[in-house]
Structure 1
Amino acid sequence: MPSAPALDQALLGEVTAAVRAAGDRLRERYVPQARAVTGDEIVAAIHANDDAVLDVLKTPLTAARPGAGWADDELAGGALPPGEWWVTDPAEGNINHVHGMPDWAVTATLVRDNAPVLTVVHLPLTGDDYTAVAGGGAWLNGVPLRVSAKTELGAALTGTGQARPGEDADTFRRVGSSVARMLADGLVVRVSVPATLQLIHVAAGRMDAFWQFSDVRSGLVAGALLVAEAGGEVTDVRGAPWSLASPDFLAAAPGIHGAAVAALSTIT
């Protein structure tokens, strides 16, 4: 019987096709200007994108792994029950999409016993596919990815962002304090959404670290696997191994990971 990694590798083509099809649908809905003005209009546009794309993604993935669960809430966090689960986002960076910005994607990640084992991140506007299978490396359109070789935090381009609307005041305070600390210790800090689109840059060595005070699964699992398979360190901000139960997240190039932990672990 083939091993789990071999079966996952064989599944990658089906997942990629499903994510690309969903991306085609989302691209058809994109216009390079804002589509909404009021808060209610923005929320409605976001939900309309999800509704238009979800079935295009869910139907083939459910058929590919009939026994896998489906994690429906894109803003939910924490550990999942044992077994296999699809953690997807039919419009990762939906807020950017409805504002006419290009930073959005479609993602699908297979999580097995709370560990991401396969992921596809598709960028519909460029056609790029970021893919990884646990133990098989991370890839961009078939070309292997490798994290940054930097060893000085003072030379590092790092990033963070808001995971969900309406975070509590303490989380906002920690985000602000961490940005101030990394502005002082690093070179440049990017603050943007969504998390996945920063994490693909970490996996590709374009950025050196990304952190977030959040446990939102759909924004972290794809990037966590890509960064780990590209040779990066994926932990919480105190340097402990990251899991879906972790309250926060850090992905970094090995050469600056320790310094990033030293800076971020002071933010309480």
Structure 2
Amino acid sequence: MLQLDTARLTEFDSTPARGHQPVMLELKDLKLSYGNTQILNGVDLSVRRGDVLSIIGPSGTGKTTLLKCINYLVKPASGTITFDKIRMDYQRVDKAAIQAIRCRTAMVFQQFNVFKNMTVLQNVMDPLVVVQRKSKDEARKIALQELERVGLSEKIDSYPSQLSGGQLQRTGIARALAVRPDVMLFDEPTSSLDPELVGEVLKVIKDVASSGITSLLVTHEMQFAKSISNRIIFMDKGVVAADGSPTEIFDTPSSPRLAQFLNSEHSHH
């Protein structure tokens, strides 16, 4: 696994005190099962504006599912979501509320979410023109801005088949950023990458996090999570088993189970 230069990673210091910021997102008592398997077992989570929250935990414990419940890519059996001033009970689906939340969030997936038949520039312009109804000129201007931000200005006319995995994921991040979301959702964005390409994507995510966009990140990159987050939650068996600052989670784990998980991750990497 790629060793990150943590001295370099701290140069942005993306974690100012955020305690005074208003709550942006609140999930209460989220439950979801597939067949007899309980995936989410009553998850409560509150996220403040500007939070950079990393979600860690063993595989199969509901981390990705939790992320996908926020923009309703997965439908929980029960629970409520409050997003800014939008409130929805998952048992009484409100299509207008779902649409409003989706318009204000953007997700970066494990598998690169790009259209193979479009150039890099077209991929980033697409949601601006199709969903936000912007003019082509305005969409192009925003897309070029975001592609410069992720270091892909020279690849705007390339097609996905001509790009590396790292470049594809950076295109996906530019596409997500272009819609100017209030909340970015990153679902293990480096898990499909070759180890030598991980660093370039983490650098872009670090830049996003330091810009003040509220960000939720599911990741197995522990050192990275520690360096960019102001909060970490540890999920285990479908619940939030620990919630604290990076120091509290990594340096003084609150339970034997969390300590065991961190030790096993450390020995893998």
TM-score by length of 1: 0.28
Task: Indicate the structure whose relative CO is greater, using CA pairs within 8 Å and at least 6 residues apart.
Answer: 2
